[in-house]
């Protein structure tokens, strides 16, 4: 079946959803339920609210709020009228918020009142002092010269004079504005996770809907499917690779405010959820919850598992009981998933590879030094080309030019291989790979072995410069609860299991790994900084390990 969402804009896609599935449930949050017709009506009202503010196509509207329906209404309503949604991580601190609002040229930002969460309104008042006493449209400051409006999506008990509420805008809603007509125009700015450097804002077009349909093909999504989603809506996994693939097939999405194992288990049973995103912490909490063994979660069919660790995948399939346990390969810059297996492929295929490219997307494996394609099965940098590649990084032409070649290939910075059939296997980040004694070392390979040690709860390996060997690996270990393990024991465990050039030079212990918010990716640039600081302070280590020179 051809893709009915090909070349559709947000407005056209929402109209098609109503035409096909109007009275069916699309969204559930707490005790609030919305049909597809309701979803379109709420998006239209959001568009009218933005029009009342005088916002025009191309203007940037930032969303800074936790999981709730208003997030979705604002996103859809802004994008369908040609505004660009800036998805802000709710775990950002003051200066990070200021950077992303400023760098994106956001004219408006939508927040929720504090409740039990972060007090974003106070943070914005700190950045824009006139928010407290000024007038809407006149709150811009030196820190945020483009910001005209702060919209609170419920009644704000503090009633900052310069802010407006969702209800204020409902009362003065303008007529429905014209809808965007160019499917190639930007609709979202999504900032990178920040695992390696300062975040960059990837501009994603209306192609999200086309991609959503193709994502669903590999897992046979239908009107009977239901997604349980408690990962943050600001992340591309939740929108581009979450609610949208279910909606385009007529399925519904059940939204949790944040992940709670008990609430998740209850919702799966109540709503007969068939799919969810599973991160390792989610897996551990669900299996450990007392309700898991007494609650019927057999409706679960597909688990988009955010790990390539075979042991994690085995636990999701065997212990959590999800037959369609799988991973995929993609990134925000590719409108998420580029490659995917079928959910009913053989287990060994689903657990060891990330699948073959979706329709109209190309993958190549390139030697990053020669820029030539490598033979099938050999490792190299993963390059992607096709309609789903981002437009570019907002206001970062040099970074965009480094990422996208003149003929349209996105250099992902990921290290992987592709077999003769086209299936892709992700090996790790190219930036994580380091060269020791003249050989390339993939930290993921060593991490997989190290993670098997009974005293290791979590681990990560980074490469640092070394005068003798070029680079050496530094292993960071979070010990398992109640375990006492030494550096010497870890190195002795690894020595017979991996090649000598892959051996870490040092093992450093840490209470917890630094992770990106929402996606749970290890921020290896922080570990690299930590390694250099510790080695400079105390360079001595096990001589047999080949400790790097200071």
Which residues, in sequence order, are CB contacts of 293 under 8 Å at separation 6+? Answer: none
User: Which is nearest to 275 in space by CA: 250, 240, 242?
Assistant: 242
Give bridge partners of residue 436 from the DSSP assignment.
Answer: 439
Structure-token pair, residue 320: 């959590």
pLDDT at 470: 73
Confidence of residue 195 (pLDDT cuts 50, 70, 90): very low
pLDDT at 159: 75
Structure-token pair, residue 36: 């597809």
3-state secondary structure of 243: helix
The chain-wide mean pLDDT, for the chain, equals 91
3-state secondary structure of 457: strand
pLDDT at 118: 79
What is the rounded distance in angstroms from the CA atom of residue 397 to the CA atom of residue 400? 5
What is the rounded distance in angstroms from the CA atom of residue 338 to the CA atom of residue 87? 21
- Residue 542, pLDDT > 80, answer no
Task: Determine the average pLDDT of the residues in 200-228.
Answer: 97
pLDDT at 536: 86
Q: What's the order of all strands across the beta sheet hosting 106-111?
A: 163-165, 149-152, 106-111, 60-64, 84-87, 186-191, 201-205, 392-393
Q: Are 205 and 391 in contact (CB under 8 A)?
A: yes
Task: Determine the average pLDDT of the residues in 264-272.
Answer: 98
Confidence of residue 155 (pLDDT cuts 50, 70, 90): low
- Residue 74, pLDDT > 50, answer yes
CA atoms within 13 A on the CB side of 503: 22
Confidence of residue 196 (pLDDT cuts 50, 70, 90): very low
3-state secondary structure of 518: coil
pLDDT at 516: 74
Q: What are phi and psi of 322, to 5 degrees?
A: -105, 110
Which residues, in sequence order, are CB contacts of 109 under 8 Å at separation 6+? Answer: 61, 62, 63, 64, 88, 101, 124, 147, 149, 150, 151
Please name the helix (run of DSSP H) or strand (run of DSSP E) that holds residue 213, with its range, or none: helix 208-217
Please name the helix (run of DSSP H) or strand (run of DSSP E) that holds residue 429, with its range, or none: strand 424-429
pLDDT at 427: 85
- Residue 517, pLDDT > 70, answer no
Q: Which of 97-101, 336-340, 433-437 is the least confident region?
A: 433-437
Q: What is the DSSP letter of 358?
A: P
Residues in the chain: 550
β-pairing, 424-429 vs 410-418, is antiparallel
pLDDT at 327: 93
Structure-token pair, residue 375: 């033979």
β-pairing, 410-418 vs 380-386, is antiparallel
DSSP string, 274-287: -EEEE-HHHHHHHH
Task: Determine the average pLDDT of the residues in 83-109.
Answer: 93
The dihedral through the CA atoms of 311, 317, 323, 324 has a sign that is: negative
What is the rounded distance in angstroms from the CA atom of residue 278 to the CA atom of residue 296? 18
Q: Are 207 and 183 in contact (CB under 8 A)?
A: yes
- Residue 114, pLDDT > 70, answer no
Q: What are phi and psi of 488, to 5 degrees?
A: -60, -40
Which residues, in sequence order, are CB contacts of 426 under 8 Å at separation 6+? Answer: 308, 327, 329, 354, 382, 414, 415, 416
Task: Determine the average pLDDT of the residues in 285-303.
Answer: 97
What is the rounded distance in angstroms from the CA atom of residue 55 to the CA atom of residue 98? 21
Q: What is the largest CA-CA distance in the chain?
A: 74
DSSP string, 487-502: HHHHHHHHTTTS-GGG
Please name the helix (run of DSSP H) or strand (run of DSSP E) that holds residue 423, with its range, or none: none
Q: What is the DSSP letter of 419?
A: -
What is the rounded distance in angstroms from the CA atom of residue 263 to the CA atom of residue 276? 13
Q: What is the DSSP letter of 394?
A: T
What is the rounded distance in angstroms from the CA atom of residue 547 to the CA atom of residue 532? 12
What percent of the chain has pLDDT above 70? 94
DSSP string, 314-341: HHHHHTS--TEEE-EEEEGGGTEEEEE-
Q: Are 192 and 199 in contact (CB under 8 A)?
A: yes
What is the rounded distance in angstroms from the CA atom of residue 11 to the CA atom of residue 43? 9
pLDDT at 199: 78
Task: Determine the average pLDDT of the residues in 506-523.
Answer: 84
């Amino acid at each position: 079946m051809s893709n009915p969402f090909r070349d559709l804009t947000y407005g056209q896609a929402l109209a098609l959803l109503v035409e096909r599935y109007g009275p069916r449930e699309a969204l559930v949050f707490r005790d609030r339920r919305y049909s597809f017709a309701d979803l379109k009506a709420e998006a239209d009202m959001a568009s009218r609210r933005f029009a009342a503010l005088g916002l025009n196509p191309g203007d940037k509207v930032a969303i800074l709020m936790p999981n709730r329906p208003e997030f979705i209404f604002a996103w859809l309503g802004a994008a369908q009228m040609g505004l660009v949604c800036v998805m802000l991580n709710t775990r950002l601190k003051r200066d990070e918020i200021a950077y992303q609002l400023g760098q994106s040229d956001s004219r408006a930002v939508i927040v929720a009142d504090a409740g039990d969460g972060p007090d974003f309104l106070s943070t914005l008042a700190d950045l824009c002092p006139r928010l407290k006493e000024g007038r809407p449209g006149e709150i811009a400051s030196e820190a945020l010269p483009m910001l005209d409006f702060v919209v609170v999506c419920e009644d704000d008990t503090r009633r900052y004079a310069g802010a407006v509420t969702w209800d204020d805008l409902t009362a003065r809603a303008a007529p429905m504005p014209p809808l965007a007509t160019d499917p190639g125009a930007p609709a979202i700015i999504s900032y990178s996770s920040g695992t390696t450097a300062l975040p960059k804002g990837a501009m994603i077009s209306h192609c999200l809907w086309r991609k959503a349909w193709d994502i669903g093909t590999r897992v046979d999504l239908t009107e009977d499917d239901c997604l349980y989603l408690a990962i943050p809506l600001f992340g591309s996994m939740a929108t581009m690779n979450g609610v949208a693939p279910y909606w385009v097939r007529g399925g519904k999405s059940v939204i949790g405010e944040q992940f709670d194992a008990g609430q998740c288990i209850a919702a799966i049973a109540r709503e007969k959820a068939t799919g969810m995103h599973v991160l390792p912490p989610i897996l551990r909490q669900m299996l450990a919850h007392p309700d898991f063994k007494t609650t019927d979660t057999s409706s679960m069919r597909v688990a988009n598992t955010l790990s390539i660790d075979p042991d994690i995948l085995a636990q999701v399939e065997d212990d959590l009981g999800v037959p369609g346990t799988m991973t995929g390969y993609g990134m925000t810059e590719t409108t998420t998933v580029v490659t995917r297996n079928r959910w009913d492929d053989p287990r060994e295929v689903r657990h060891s590879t990330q699948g073959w490219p979706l329709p109209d997307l190309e993958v190549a494996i390139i030697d990053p030094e020669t820029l030539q394609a490598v033979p099938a099965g050999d490792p190299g940098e993963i390059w992607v080309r096709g309609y789903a590649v981002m437009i570019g990084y907002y206001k970062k032409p040099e970074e965009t030019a480094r990422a996208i070649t003149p003929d349209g290939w996105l250099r992902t910075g990921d290290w992987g291989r592709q077999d003769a059939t086209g299936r892709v296997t992700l090996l790790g980040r190219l930036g994580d790979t380091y060269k020791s004694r003249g050989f390339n070392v993939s930290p993921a390979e060593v991490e997989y072995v190290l993670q098997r040690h009974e005293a290791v709860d979590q681990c990560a390996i980074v490469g640092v410069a070394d005068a003798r060997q070029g680079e050496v690996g530094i292993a960071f270990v979070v010990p398992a609860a109640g375990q006492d393990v030494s550096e010497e024991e870890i190195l002795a465990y690894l020595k017979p299991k991996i090649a000598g050039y892959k051996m870490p030079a040092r093992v450093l212990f840490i209470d917890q790994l630094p992770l990106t918010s929402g996606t749970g990716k290890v921020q290896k640039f922080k570990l690299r900084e930590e390694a250099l600081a510790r080695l400079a302070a105390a360079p001595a280590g096990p001589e047999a390990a080949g400790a790097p020179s200071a």
